[in-house]
Each structure stands twice: as structure tokens, then as C-alpha cells.
Amino acid sequence: MKTLTLLEVGSLEGVVIMIIGIIILVALSVSFMITTFVKLIYESKDSRKFSKKQFWQTMLICLLLCGLVSGAICGGGL
């Protein structure tokens, strides 16, 4: 009896969705850690306050950079 490879199974939508989901979760967690680190540095000087708007803008910028890096890696640019 022959073992089946992934290509012989047929439909691979589930695998593709799972890979995209993992990439999104990793990007969200990395962006959250970077944003928290930036918030701690920002608030440590002169008792400034990091607003929610600044938090989400920093999070969005980090997510865009993570998407750029993952696109370059997965797309074969690097």
C-alpha cells in the first residue's frame, strides 16, 4: 500500500487557510509586543501618556511592516 502525499490528497484549501491564519496570528502577536515595548519607552520619559489612538496607529504600522516582511519571505523576494 502506497502512502499518500499532500499533493495526491486533492483539495488543499484547508492547508492554505491554516497557513494564512498562522501568519496573521504571528504578525498580530509580534506587533502587539513591539507596540507594548514602544509604549513603555514613550511613557518612561517626562511622564507622557500613550493614547489609544497612538497605540492602534503603532500597531497598524507594525502589522504593515510584518506583512511586508512575510510577503517578501513567502513570495521569494529574499
Angstrom distance (rounded) from CA 31 to CA 63: 6
Residues whose CB falls within 8 Å of the CB of residue 50, separated by 6 or more in sequence, listed in order: 39, 42, 43
For residue range 23-58, list pLDDT tens digits in order: 889 999 999 999 999 999 999 988 889 999 999 999
pTM (whole model) above 0.95: no
Q: How distant is the alpha carbon of residue 63 from its chain centre?
A: 6
C-beta of residue 68 within 8 angstroms of C-beta of residue 62:
no
C-beta of residue 51 within 8 angstroms of C-beta of residue 78:
no
What is the length of the chain?
78
